[in-house]
Amino acid sequence: MTSGVRPGLFLTVEGVEGVGKTTNMMFIREWLEAVGVPLLCTREPGGTPLAEELRGLLLANRQEPVDPHAELLMIFAARAQHLNRVILPALASGTWVLCDRFTDATYAYQGGGRKLPVAVIEQLENIVQQGRHPDRTLLLDLDVETGLARARNRGGLDRFEQEQRSFFEDVRRAYQQRVKADPERFIVIDASRSLDEVQSQIAAELTKLLADFKSANENGAGQ
């Protein structure tokens, strides 16, 4: 790349149902925009018209059981479209991308929850992402029962939210394994605390992240 534009940061937000991703995505968006960061907010599955259609298919409650491989392939089909049409062009133009869920969710839900082999997910990840990963990931961590209660209070449940509690316990464990495997990338937030406390912790992390980004930028510019 010789355009001279420093690529934006790719940030993702992860966690089991009801941990507060949507609520805190809004907080992060406002925080970053207030300090002048050029930002694109998006989500997975979804983020383009085609990928949003696939999201609709994935989340819809239906009589026909969905084969786990069919689910996995739809998720990566949506991701290929989203990554290549939206995320990578934005990053290349210097815009930061804040994405509600990404491939960690696939390892957690289709790997941990549906028990698909990690090697199969890795193969698709390599094909679709070709080595591109989020720069930093905020994992909102909360016990499954509290998260599901929060999600239920919010209204109608989609196809994933109909799963048994043990499914979500497996999903949470798989997220925790992801953190262990890549502790530098993850920022783990205790989402059982009050929203104010959660958001001050997030703000502190964003302050550090921005300072690191600026200092890397200055060092890069001086070379």
27 binding ligand T5A? (CB under 6 A):
no
Stretch that binds ligand T5A, among 4-12, 29-37, 98-106, 131-139 (CB under 6 A): 98-106
Distance of alpha carbon 78 from alpha carbon 89, whole angstroms = 16
Stretch that binds ligand T5A, among 15-23, 86-94, 123-131, 202-210 (CB under 6 A): 15-23
Closer Cβ to ligand T5A, 126 or 215, answer by number: 126
Cβ-Cβ contacts under 8 Å for 91 (sequence gap 6 or more): 7, 8, 9, 10, 97
Pairing of strands 136-141, 39-43: unpaired
Among 11, 40, 75, 148, interactor with ligand T5A by CB under 6 A: 75
Q: In whole angstroms, what separates CA 219 from the centre of its chain?
A: 29
Strand positions, DSSP E, 18-117: 39-43, 96-100
Binding mask 140-179 for ligand T5A (x = CB under 6 A): ----------xx--x-----x-------------------
Closer Cβ to ligand T5A, 32 or 140, answer by number: 140
Residues that bind ligand T5A (CB under 6 A): 15, 17-23, 44-45, 59, 75, 100-101, 105-106, 109-110, 150-151, 154, 160, 191, 194-195, 198
